[in-house]
Amino acid sequence: MPEVTEEVVLKALTQVHDPDLGRDIVSLGFVKNVKICGGAVGFEVELTTPACPLKDQLKQQAYDAVVSVPGVTAVSVQMTAQTRNQRYGVSDALRGVRNIVAIASGKGGVGKSTVTVNLALALTAAGARVGILDADVYGPSIPGMLGTDCRPDADELTGAFVPPLAHGVKVMSVGLIFPPDEATIWRGPIASRILEQFLNAVDWGELDYLLLDLPPGTGDVQLTLAQAAPLNGAVIVTTPQDVALRVARKGLRMFQKVNVPVLGIIENMAGFVCPNCKTVHDIFSKGGGERIARDMGVPLLGSIPLDPALVASGDAGKPLFVADRASPASLAFEAAARILAAQLSIATMGKQSATAPRDVHLHDREVPQIVWSDGVVMNFEHRALRLACPCAACRDEMSGVRLLDETAVPADIKVAAVRLVGQYGLNLVFSDGHSSGIYTFELLRQLGKAATTK
């Protein structure tokens, strides 16, 4: 009988491919802890999310691949999951958060908060650790939908808020801090600062997914979160009506402009489920979400039917996914959550942008340097970076003409600090106190190439 070795087992497992990532599970690093005892073989397949929709299929394929190896008499396959991320420069509060996803809509009234809550619960049911940040500071609805009014505690040592749990999901909202009937009359900058504190002064702990329930539109709050939070992606919620679809395109374009991947579209209220005959009636229109997803080149994560129980359960503080897991809407949320998790894995492992930095050393080395995701290493000059500042005070926004007086920039100026701006740029703070410039990754690549050709 031929000897069974780890090399032979791994070679057999290269036949098993993850269809989303387009590679075999060995080269993806999914196969762990191979153990062989005579003809008995055991190993783990560590997926990138506990919500993987192909978990059972991959397990069966891995079993079949190894059991067919000559000399193998028994196979034990254990499926595990480790959600992955590739972010850097995050605050301590976000250090344990592996994926941050914005749930957005172009207009109000499309059920975005309902979608956020039920997606979070579906991901939790799949074994993920999930949190929700209610970013709608003017109309917080998440606490009511989750049936919680627990005020967050503050850590005695750090002073950070500890978000309460509701149905297994960590929650932070203005609605948990201020009385429910108190109006939050804040200007944009104040609201933006509150949200930055919610991101960076909350002890989120270890999370696989943090969902940000954004207010509708493309204003200050949305831009602040796109810049302050290292978003892994965004989900656009819409309804089938043409007016909602047109506005949804604007929200999608906003995230594309700030280099946040749009993970997909969820079409809410896609047909009405009659509570008596269970027939689905298309009271708005049909196929709108699918059309806009196709036109914009993003996936349709799911179509959620309009169910009277969905509204009633949200008002009662017991979301439909908890109240009735077998309802058509709950099943649609479960499917959408699994597709969302798969899209995040693709964005993280399969489609990493070559123009994103892997290591940034602009302020902690004598020669500033960036190592990019494609392996390219670029060196910079401190003064050249200062002269290239793209802010409105240093460069005319319309013509691009430099307004900065070159003679006013000291020869020994240094980059004193670097701050990550969303997923599209860096904010550089210089030793002369200037700190208003946002250097996009594209601009930094151009400056690095120019420095190389000198």
pLDDT in tens, 250-271: 777 788 777 788 899 999 887 7
What is the Cα–Cα distance from 241 to 237, expressed in whole angstroms? 12
Residue 278 pLDDT class (50, 70, 90 cuts) = low
Residue 139, pLDDT > 80, answer: no
Using N-to-C axis directions, what is the helix angle for 308-315 and 112-125, rounded to 10°? 80
| Residue 252 belongs to a domain | yes
Distance CA 228, CA 131 (A): 17
Structural domain harbouring 96:
92-350
Number of domains in the chain: 3
Residue that is last in its domain, among 350, 365, 388: 350
Same domain (yes/no): 340, 380: no
SS3 88: coil
Q: What is the pLDDT of residue 250?
A: 76
Structural domain contains residue 86: no
Confidence of residue 137 (pLDDT cuts 50, 70, 90): confident
Residues 270 and 330 in one domain: yes
* Range from 24-33, 185-194, 437-446 carrying the lowest mean pLDDT: 185-194
- 83 pLDDT exceeds 60? yes
Could you give the residue ranges of the DSSP H alpha helices within 264-372?
288-296, 308-315, 320-323, 328-345
305 and 380 belong to one structural domain: no
pLDDT higher than threshold 80 for residue 108: no
Average pLDDT over residues 316-321: 91
Rounded mean pLDDT, 233-248: 80
Query: What pLDDT is attached to residue 212?
Result: 93
Whether pLDDT at 415 is above 80? yes
Q: Is residue 290 part of a domain?
A: yes
The average pLDDT across 56-74 equals 94
Kindly state whether residues 218 and 172 are assigned to the same domain: yes
Helix (H, G, I), strand (E, B) or coil at 134: strand
Say whether both 286 and 338 belong to one domain. yes
In this structure, is residue 261 part of a structural domain?
yes
Instruction: Give the C-alpha separation, 113 to 121, whole Å.
Output: 12
Amino acid letter, residue 450: A
Where is the domain boundary, 350, 373, 390?
Answer: 350
- The answer to whether the pTM exceeds 0.85 is no
Closest CA to 123 of 53, 35, 200: 53
Please give the residue that has the higher pLDDT: either 246 or 46: 46
- Both 198 and 289 in one domain: the answer is yes
Claim to verify: residue 125 and residue 57 sit in the same structural domain: no
Low-confidence winner among 112-121, 135-144, 236-245, 406-415 (lowest mean pLDDT): 236-245
Q: How far is CA 145 from each of CA 86, 133, 413, rounded to the nearest angstrom?
A: 32, 13, 53
- Length of the chain equals 454
pLDDT given for residue 77 in this prediction = 95
What is the predicted pLDDT for the residue at 196? Answer: 77
Of 78-82, 88-92, 330-334, the poorest mean pLDDT is in: 88-92
DSSP character at residue 454: -
Does residue 110 sit in helix, strand or coil?
A: coil
Which region holds residue 89: left if phi is over 0, alpha if psi is between -120 and 50, else beta?
Answer: left
The answer on pLDDT for 163 being more than 80 is: yes
pLDDT higher than 60, residue 133 = yes
Token pair for 102: 């914005």
pLDDT of residue 428: 93
Angle at 435 between CA 433 and CA 436, to 5 degrees: 140
CATH code for the domain of 51: 3.30.300.130
Using alpha carbons, select from 431, 410, 427 the residue that is nearest to residue 418: 427
**For residue 210, is it within any domain?**
yes
Residue 224 · residue 335 · CB < 8 Å:
no
Is residue 87 assigned to a domain?
no
**Inside any domain, residue 341:** yes
**87/273: higher pLDDT:** 273
Percent of the chain with pLDDT over 90: 39
Say how far apart CA 241 and CA 248 lie, in whole Å.
11
Mean pLDDT to the nearest integer, 444-453: 81
Banded pLDDT at 273 (limits 50, 70, 90): low
At 1, is the pLDDT very low, low, confident or very high (cuts 50, 70, 90)? low
Taking residues 372-401, report their average pLDDT: 88
If one counts every other C-beta atom within 10 angstroms of the C-beta of residue 408, the result is 7
Same-domain check for residues 373 and 332: no
Element (H, E) at 251: helix 242-257
Q: Which residues contact 345 (CB under 8 A, 6 or more apart)?
A: 20, 21, 48, 49, 52, 84
| pLDDT (average), residues 114-138 | 92
Collapse the DSSP code of 112 into the 3-class scheme (helix H, G, I; strand E, B; otherwise coil) and give the result: helix
Over range 61-88, report the average pLDDT.
86
Paired strand residues for 304: 268
pLDDT for 354 equals 53
Considering the domain architecture, whether residues 110 and 34 belong to the same structural domain is answered as no
pLDDT of residue 186: 67
Tell me the C-alpha distance between 235 and 103, whole Å: 5
**Any idea what DSSP says for residue 309?**
H
Please report which helix (H) or strand (E) contains residue 124, including its range. helix 112-125
> What pLDDT shows up at residue 454?
54
- Tokens at 250, concatenated: 């604007």
Give the contacts of 268 (CB within 8 A, at least 6 positions apart).
110, 111, 112, 114, 115, 237, 238, 239, 304, 306
Q: Can you tell me the mean pLDDT for 144-161?
A: 84
Check: CB of residue 301 under 8 Å from CB of residue 265. Answer: yes
Q: Check whether 200 has a pLDDT greater than 80.
A: no
Domain finish residue from 289, 323, 350 = 350
pLDDT at site 355: 66
Question: Residue 2 — pLDDT band, cuts 50, 70, 90?
Answer: confident
| Alpha-carbon dihedral 108, 111, 115, 121, rounded to 10 degrees | 120
The span from the CA of 352 to the CA of 346, in Å, is 9
Higher pLDDT, 120 or 252: 120
Looking at the fold, whether 231 and 288 belong to one and the same domain comes out as: yes
Asked if pLDDT for residue 314 goes beyond 80, the answer is: yes
- Same-domain pairing of 268 and 305: yes
Q: Residue 264 sits in a domain of what CATH number?
A: 3.40.50.300
Same domain, 306 and 387: no
Q: Report the CATH number at residue 414.
A: 3.30.2020.30
Q: List, as one string, the DSSP characters of 1-68.
A: -PPP-HHHHHHHHTT-EETTTTEETTTTT-EEEEEEETTEEEEEEEES-TT-TTHHHHHHHHHHHHHT
Report, as an integer, the average pLDDT of 314-322. Answer: 89
Of residues 147 and 193, more confidently modeled: 147
Give the model's confidence band at 60: pLDDT under 50 very low, under 70 low, under 90 confident, else very high. Answer: very high
Say if residue 22 is exposed, middle or buried (CB neighbours under 10 Å; 0-12, 13-18, 19+).
exposed
Left if phi > 0, otherwise alpha if psi is -120 to 50, otherwise beta: which for 400? left
